[in-house]
Structure 1
Amino acid sequence: MPQSMLTDTVRVGIHVPDAVIRAGLASYLQQDRRVREIPSDRMHEADVIVVAVDTVDASALEQLRAVSNRADARFVMVVGKQWQADISTAVDRGVRGVLWRDAFTPPMFLRTLVTVAEGGGSFPPALQGTLMEQVQWTQREVLTPRGLNASGVSAREVDVLRLVAEGEELSEIAVKLSYSERTVKYILYGLMKRMQLRNRAHAVSYAIRSGLI
């Protein structure tokens, strides 16, 4: 999310078949100048899309693709009854906020929309816990044995990036890490190709933004 969004009006799309629920959600948007509803035929312009369902399952998550095919689409789901879907899959589909209908309040709804528009997330504690357990399992059982982390960058790639960021030449990095200079080049340029990074400066910028260094 561009930094300018912090001062811009959040554009909200509402995809809710039930006319009564939809009207209620739309009325809440009119109470806060930070947000505004956009027409359904301009859903592709939305910063956040609100979807209300009784039960979240694999089918409900798959239907999100029909609502918006943007790769960076962000959804807030208002859930009436049950959550029966994989939370990691939901996040992969663009779900960034979940509100239980029986605990729903307008202030919470509006706060969640702004949080998600600014690049954050908002999930009930139980779903947060499940997501953290899945992340922990993936790190421990899948990534760590392969020398990777959640970003897909290996530990030795992080070491090289950190030294590049410090201004070290490849020959100096090779000495510090006890690698050959050829190996350092292989590590660095392999990472740049895989992550589609244009040059060393771009690689360092990516590492900083990702919290790797």
Structure 2
Amino acid sequence: MPRSRVASRPDDGPRPDPNRIPVTIHCDDPLTRAGLLSHLRGDPLLEPFDVSVGTVGGVAVVLAGRLDDLDVARLRRLALNKRIVLVVERMREPELLRALDSGVTAIVLRSDATPERLAAAVRAAARGDRDLPSDLLGQLVDAVNRMRRESADGLLPGSQQLTDRELDVLRLLADGWETRAIAAKLAYSERTVKNVLAGLNARFRLRNRTHAVAYAFREGYL
């Protein structure tokens, strides 16, 4: 009597090992993607998958050239449920701030992307630790110090106190959440979240989300 066969379901596929960190590779060039997979397969703590595997959570390794709008949109989408390691050729301060604002946890320069360096960045990202090259870390410190001076010079009298709603939004923003996810988490509309951020920027003369988070950290709110 023939065995009955169970029809496969669309969600059938590799299941991540709960004792290892699932890692997906996001790269348009198949040869480079294969190289990144090979780099990471040597680490016993990591379980790398091709991007076609729809794992939830874990770490996404994203290769980008110049950080354009499409790259930023992809980073923000991935940051909804993954930590992100960004691999880039080089990065200037505006691109660095934009990357961090998009939810990137760790950055590796392609010239430094040995198997050991890449695996270390993935492990750091999985822990939620910031991992930046030393020169980019210096750029970030300089940017935060400049923001501190500018915000101290530009604060409006009597406007220093943050509301509970503003604090709720900033806490999630600091964790890398984007507008839609923040709205869903707090049961607000996206327009409300955008209005909260716009109000913060106007009251404290802040330039962007990164500046807002840096200000909140400096003032001890986060």
| TM-score, scaled relative to structure 1 | 0.59
Runs of 5+ unmatched residues, structure 2: 1-17, 170-216
Task: Say which of 21, 31, 47 aligns to 2:32.
Answer: 21
* Alignment partner, residue 58 of structure 1: 68
Q: Tell me, which stretches of 5 or more residues in structure 1 are unaligned?
A: 1-6, 148-152, 158-189, 198-209
Structure 1 residues 43 and 93, CA gap change in structure 2 (3 angstroms): farther
The answer to whether 1:77 aligns with 2:49 is no
- Structure 1 stretches of 4+ with a deviation exceeding 2 A read 38-44, 55-69, 82-86, 143-147, 190-197, 210-213
Larger radius of gyration: 1
What secondary structure does 2:124 align onto? helix
Query: Could you report, residue by residue, the CA deviation over 1:81-126 in whole angstroms, capped at 9, with x for unpaired residues?
Result: x325531111011122222222221111111100011011211122
Instruction: State the partner residue of 2:123.
Output: 114
Query: Residues 93-112 of structure 1: matches in 2 within 5 Å?
Result: 93-112=102-121
Asked if structure 1 preserves the Cα contact closer than 8 Å seen for 2:59 and 2:125, the reply is yes
- 1:126 and 2:135 correspond: yes
Q: How does 1:1-213 map to 2 (within 5 A)?
A: 8-43=19-54, 45-53=56-64, 55-59=65-69, 61-65=71-75, 68=78, 70=80, 73-80=82-89, 82-84=90-92, 85-142=94-151, 145-146=154-155, 154=160, 191-196=163-168, 212=220
Deviation at 1:68, TM superposition (A): 2.3
**RMSD between aligned alpha carbons?**
3.3
Q: Work out the number of aligned pairs and report it.
A: 154
Measure how far apart 1:31 and its partner are: 1.3
Deviation at 1:50, TM superposition (A): 0.7
